[in-house]
Amino acid sequence: VHICEPVMALWGLPGEAATVLLAALMSMGGAVGVAASLATAGALTGHDVTVLLPAMYLMGNPVQNVGRCLGTAEVNAKYYPHIITVCVINALLSIWVMQLIV
């Protein structure tokens, strides 16, 4: 977790917030659970969780979407990394926007 502190500091969040974003890659519900657990433990504040909420949903659990949506729609697999990258960039940008709003 301390490894992530310098990176997450770019978004004004503690290093523990990285675990929420990593969970969002796998599942939005999982990310909510991780955020709630870290908030209950005192690792994240209410402000931190509020800032992370849009990012959790904009990340859009791309691992599941690849199988459920992109695979079913027969999207060419060479575009998967691009689609996932857009999700991650949107999520990271939303954190900066939320820091300005909240």
Mean of the per-residue pLDDT values for the chain?
Answer: 92
pTM metric for this prediction:
0.86
User: Other C-beta atoms within 10 Å of 81: how many?
Assistant: 10
What is the count of structural domains for the chain? 1
Token readout for 96 is 């900066």
Contact 52, 95 (CB under 8 A): yes
Q: What pLDDT score was predicted for residue 1?
A: 55
pLDDT band of residue 11 (cuts 50, 70, 90) is very high
- What's the sign of the alpha-carbon dihedral 87, 47, 44, 11? positive
What residue type is assigned to position 97 of the chain?
V
Question: Is the pLDDT score of 4 beyond 80?
Answer: yes
CB 11 within 8 A of CB 99: yes
- Cβ atoms 16, 49 nearer than 8 A: no
Tell me which residue has tokens 């060479």: 78
Q: Which domain holds residue 52?
A: 2-101
